[in-house]
Homo-oligomer: A and B are copies of this chain.
């Protein structure tokens, strides 16, 4: 534990991120450039994300399925926009079983093509619609500049794919699933994303409309954390996904697709963690409470371990993900350091005096504003009676979950700039990484491109009503023409 301190976020955000991922044993580079090994601490977060999302998908009527990873190259090239978007990122299998393949196969960068090819076989009439499927899978996109979790050559994700009778139904599904992502990110990730459509230039390759949820990271860069696409009839037309309508006519189906990935783990890290290490929202923490027993003598050890074990069993029975850290080669202080680094939400200290007084000490990973404040320069310490402990732990976990959301929301708002009308001011704001810049946009690709070229910032979303500024801009911040939308600009991952 004699490791150096983490780099500070304020000094080198990127080095800080990399060190957290490495020292908290979340993930590591694999020998194949750009691909990642997700270690148990990182995978545990992903598993909890999966469980929560999977339940939400099923509650909204979706079923899981699995489609093959290998797709004929000719499938990808069928949809013009799609191939344009994905061709540069393809990994191609040219040999199998010791022979050259007649047709190369690509590793799925996303599965629209193979899935709508199959749907076309399954759908004859409107009675076969809607199809509401999801798959949990790995995908491969040949990325040159990779970062663990945020951008890797292979990543894990889910991709929902649906087929509907009408455009209205497809649009409702697209928005419903964006809403599911938003709810998940608010309630589980404690990440107050903003939501809305993307501009045309940021649309998914082959979609009619793309909607996104965007988080603001602590370095004031945006992270696109999930997307939901209304694909229109683009893929249906290419893959002959037709059905006999209620009126007896032959129609193309309307498709949607929507996905989130292991990238969310990166977003979670960059939203909540601090200079002491990882911070994990309790709902997604593989270990929610760690018990650290403190003793010097053998007699103390016997007493303390007995009490610690009883608490462990009580919390476990109450459904808390609890760990008793009984490593004897390590001092309590070294354990504190380790669990802070690894982001355990609540640390519980039990020493001989605690046993005597029938209490425990709980140290929340992040200070809770509704509890007695910490002494200056110290961590917040809560003295909790043994009686009713699991109840209190549940309540503290909930409080921490809310606290993280409140902190993140306050930070996002402190780093959201509204009311700017001068393009020069906007450029200065972007230059100093001011965060989300809300400003008017005429809707033209020219103005959008100009900002991107001059500042590297892009339109993250055109926010839905509830995310818009109270006072709506009237003019485009770039050209001064009439504003068609309020847009949110930021540099992004």
Which residues of A pack against B, CB within 8 Å?
28, 30-32, 35-40, 43-44, 46-47, 63-72, 75, 87-98, 104-105, 107, 114, 117-118, 121, 127, 133, 137-138, 140, 142, 144, 153-154, 156, 329
Contact = CB atoms under 8 A, between A and B. Distances in A.
Contacts of A94: 92-95
Which of A97, A133, A153 lies at the interface centre, i.e. has the most chain B CB atoms within 10 A of its CB? Answer: A97
A142 B91 contact: no
28 contacts: A30-B67, A31-B75, A31-B117, A32-B68, A35-B70, A37-B68, A38-B66, A39-B65, A40-B64, A40-B65, A43-B65, A69-B138, A69-B140, A70-B91, A70-B153, A88-B97, A91-B93, A91-B95, A91-B97, A92-B96, A93-B94, A94-B94, A94-B95, A95-B104, A96-B153, A98-B142, A137-B138, A138-B138
A323 to B, nearest CB: 12
A26 to B, nearest CB: 11
A69 to B, nearest CB: 6
B72 A32 contact: yes
Contacts of A68: 30, 32, 35-37, 154
Given A31-B75, A35-B70, 12 more contacts: A31-B117, A37-B65, A37-B118, A38-B67, A39-B65, A69-B140, A91-B93, A91-B105, A92-B95, A92-B96, A93-B107, A97-B142
Task: In the A-B complex, list the 7 residue pairs whose CB atoms are closest, starting with the nearest.
Answer: A97-B142, A40-B63, A35-B68, A92-B95, A38-B66, A96-B142, A30-B68
Which of A67, A68, A94, A117 lies at the interface centre, i.e. has the most chain B CB atoms within 10 A of its CB? Answer: A68
A87 B97 CA distance: 8
A70 B154 contact: yes
Contacts of A69: 35, 138, 140, 154
A35 B114 CA distance: 12
Contacts of A329: 127
B70 A32 contact: yes
A81 to B, nearest CB: 18
Nearest to A152: B68
Contacts of A156: 66
A314 to B, nearest CB: 19
Contacts of A31: 72, 75, 114, 117
A142 B101 CA distance: 11
A30 B98 contact: no
Nearest to A262: B66
Which of A36, A44, A66, A142 lies at the interface centre, i.e. has the most chain B CB atoms within 10 A of its CB? Answer: A66
A75 B31 CA distance: 10
A70 to B, nearest CB: 5
A265 B17 CA distance: 42
Contacts of A97: 88-91, 142, 144
Contacts of A75: 31
A358 B30 CA distance: 63
Nearest to A87: B98
A92 B104 CA distance: 11
B105 A96 contact: no
A268 to B, nearest CB: 17
A263 to B, nearest CB: 14
Contacts of A93: 91-94, 107
Contacts of A70: 32, 35, 91, 140, 153-154
A88 B98 CA distance: 6
A87 B99 CA distance: 12
A43 B30 contact: no
A110 to B, nearest CB: 16
A362 B205 CA distance: 51
Contacts of A36: 68
A66 B87 contact: no
